[in-house]
Structure formats: structure tokens, C-alpha cells
Amino acid sequence: MSSYILRKDLKSYRKSANENPQVRLARNAAVRGDIMDLAMDWEAFRKIDHTFSEMVSGQMKVTNQKSSGRCWGFAGLNLFRIYLGRKYNLKKFEFSQNYFIFWDKMEKSNYFLESIIKTADEPRDSRLIMHLLSDPVQDGGQWHMFTNLIEKYGVVPQSEMPESYQSSQSMRMNRMITRKLRGFAKDLRNIHKKGADIKELRSMKDDMLRTVYQMLTICLGTPPEKFDWQVRDKDKKFHRFENVTPKKFFEDHVGLNLKNYVCLIHCPMSDKTFNEVYTIDYLGNVVEGEIILYLNLPSKRLKEAAASSIKDDDPVWFGCDVGKHFHRNLGVMDMDIFDYELFYSTDFPMTKGDRLEYGDSQMTHAMLFTGVDLDRKGLPRKWRVENSWGDKRGDKGYDIMTDSWFDEYTYEVVVHKDYITKDEFSVYQKEPVILPPWDPMGALAK
């Protein structure tokens, strides 16, 4: 066989395609229509049902991250507002997503510059340096990155730091800050080559961070240090709290102990084992914060923990690959919703582990589980998902995830430690295995 495509090969391919009536039918449809609609399976479509046997209380109107990759923070803040809403009997409330992203970008800038200092002796074109330079202040994040921000900076109501154009349309802001940080990286590495010590490098870094803060202030506004919060509840009762700091607002009005939460992953890759705890090198935002920790378990254990949490009225933050087998307008994640095999006259046999190892899937999005539909045996049939893409799709912005989709494309869930076994929690507290920065489990939810 030849190493290049021969004309006789092309004639054979053409003949094979043209003689297949299924290919001709799919071609005639695809040239004029959306493949997602054309490949939709009628039996799966007719079974779409937005009712669930178990639902957490206190759910509110969905939020909208717009043209930004802040889903991980939106999901975390949406979790918080359920507890705050219950406490004060609120019909609607939003935390400031602008406030958390301001501090995330500030901390990511410091994390990046510290990483550049730490790797100053690495060759400029090494894989690690190229990785660090690739996207230092992207919008994405992970659960521990979120909790590090909350524990250091707290939270504020959206009314105290509303959305700006740049927070909702973040591409250009990110591009300019990234350009500045790459220039700073060059300067730090150059002065290190000339013999500068760590004290000089950190002094330079301080001036660099001052510039980043200035750029963020221009784009996002100035974060409040203290504020007054007042609200009227569902029963028309008025509440007012004065001279509150952001950290105090979280402690007094949300009150969750974030250190009691554990991040469980399902990563069936050949180089990883279950009942092992992992972390990712050079992945984080707050330098002095908690490192990212993942306890790798079978998918069944993630589902059992998440379902138990929901049954106890506790929502669940989770991460998945949302772009696969997902009909955005219908708000349905379902392995059977599209019959791609029939449409393309071929199969797609890769397993979840295969897809991770060969770049076909990774975690891309974080959302909130707020319900689960259990069968008579107590096993999950489907999951209710609070997304952050506005209320014009799905069931007013709430989505459905079938249980089979969970197995294939859900990668992590965050639950209270009470929902895992003592043995599992013991493993979680072990020294983690360190994975390289480019490992698929280092992907950020955007």
C-alpha cells in the first residue's frame, strides 16, 4: 500500500460512498440542515421529561455567564445562593460573579509570575515553559481554585459589584493581560540570567502586579472592601446588614465549611488507578492556597455520593465535557439523543479512557446538580442540572443529564466528606500523586 493517496484509491472511495444509499440519504440531508437535528433519534426525543423524584429546595432563576468562561465560579456561587436563599427565604439573589473573577485573575497573575520565577532555569522552549505561557489568565478554573478565592476574599452581592462589559465579554481583556504577562515573563527571565537574586525578582513582580491590578480595575471596576446589604424576603420581611466585609458576608450568610468538601473524579485512564488521590503540577491560582486534589473512584461511587447529597437537600458542584451528545436548545445530555452511527454509517467505539488518552474528551464545563430521578430500586435514571447559560433553553435554563451520559462524560463531583466512606476519605488525605500540567485531568472548566 502507498504512503500517499492515489487517484485509483479516490475512485474506489467515491464508488463505495455513492453505492451506499444510506450515505446518499445522509448527504442530501446534511448539505441543507443541522446534523444535530438530522441525527436526532425519535425514541430518545419523545422521552425527554423534566420531572425528578428528588429535588433540592431553594432553586432560583438560572444565571448567565454570557461570553465568558466563568462556569466554575458561577456553579459555586449558585450553590452558595441556595443556602443563603433558604436562610433568608429569598425568591431571587445573585452573588457578584465579577468580584470573584477580579480576584481570580489577580491571583492567577501572581501564580503565573511565581511559576516563571521558579522555572527561570528551564530552557525557553521547554514543554513546561510553553505550557505556562499558553494561557496564564484564562477564565477557566477548578473547585479548589474557587474555594481558595472564597476563603481569601469572601463574596459580595451582585448589586455591590455588578457585571461589566469586560466580565461578560472577557476575550479582549484576557488577551491584553496575557500579552502583558508574557512580556513580564521575558523580563524576569532576562534579569535572572544577569544574576538577579530572588529579592530582586520579587521586587520586580510587585511592580508587575500593580500594573495587572490597574488593568483589572479599568476592565472590571474596584472590588468593595465593605458594604451594606438589604433585602426583602418572600414574606415581605425586610433585612438589613451594615458595614459588612466580603469574608464576613460569606461566613455569616452562607456559612459552609469548604474544607469539609472533597472532589471525586472518574478517570479510567491506563496510567491511573482507582482509590488513588492525584494533583496537577503548576495548576492553581492562589499561591498559598490549597492544592487541587482529586480522589479517583469508579463512576458508580460518584453517582452514589451525588445522589445521597441531593436526597439530603444538598446541591452538588460537578464538571463534565458538556459539548458531547448534548442538544443545547433542548437542554438534554443523552447518549441516545443522536444516532451518529446510523447517520454516518460507521461506529465510534472509543471508551471513556480512550477519549481521554487520545484527546477526544476532557472536562470543559462546571454546573450544579439540583435533582435526581431515582427508579424503584433507588438507582438514578437522570439528573437535573442547573446551568449558567441563561433561561432561554432547556427547562428555563435547567438541563437533563441521563445516567448513561453521566458515566461517559461526567468527570468530577464535589460532595461533603460525609458522603464518602472512611476508607475513601483516608485515601483522600494521603500524599497525592503529582500529574504533569498537560494531563487531561488538568483541564479547566470554562
The residues annotated as belonging to the active site are 71, 365, 387
Residue 340: how many CB atoms within 10 A of its CB? 14
Per the CB < 8 A criterion, the answer to whether 306 and 129 are in contact is no
Contacts of 316 (CB under 8 A, 6+ apart): 306, 309, 310, 368, 369, 413, 414, 415
Per the CB < 8 A criterion, the answer to whether 56 and 71 are in contact is no
Helix 143-153 to helix 97-118 angle (10° resolution) is 110
Pairwise CA distance, residues 304 & 380, whole Å: 9
CA distances to 70, 177, 342, 422, 430 from 170, rounded to whole Å, are 10, 11, 39, 42, 38
Pairwise CA distance, residues 295 & 258, whole Å: 16
Pairwise CA distance, residues 98 & 162, whole Å: 7
CA distances to 228, 349, 352, 355, 440 from 269, rounded to whole Å, are 50, 16, 8, 9, 10
Pairwise CA distance, residues 443 & 290, whole Å: 18
In this structure, are strands 398-402 and 332-333 parallel, antiparallel, or unpaired? Answer: parallel
CA distances to 119, 281, 285 from 131, rounded to whole Å, are 12, 11, 15
Cα three-residue angle 268-269-272, rounded to 5 degrees:
95
Q: How many helices (H) and strands (E) does the chain have?
A: 17, 14
Residue type, 278: Y
CA distances to 20, 89, 348 from 398, rounded to whole Å, are 40, 21, 29
Q: Which residue has the cell 466512606?
A: 421
| Residues listed for the chain | 446
Per DSSP, the three-state class of 158 is: helix
Cα three-residue angle 116-118-123, rounded to 5 degrees:
65
Q: What number of CA atoms fall less than 13 Å from residue 233's CA on the CB side?
A: 13
Sign, Cα dihedral of 118, 120, 122, 126: positive
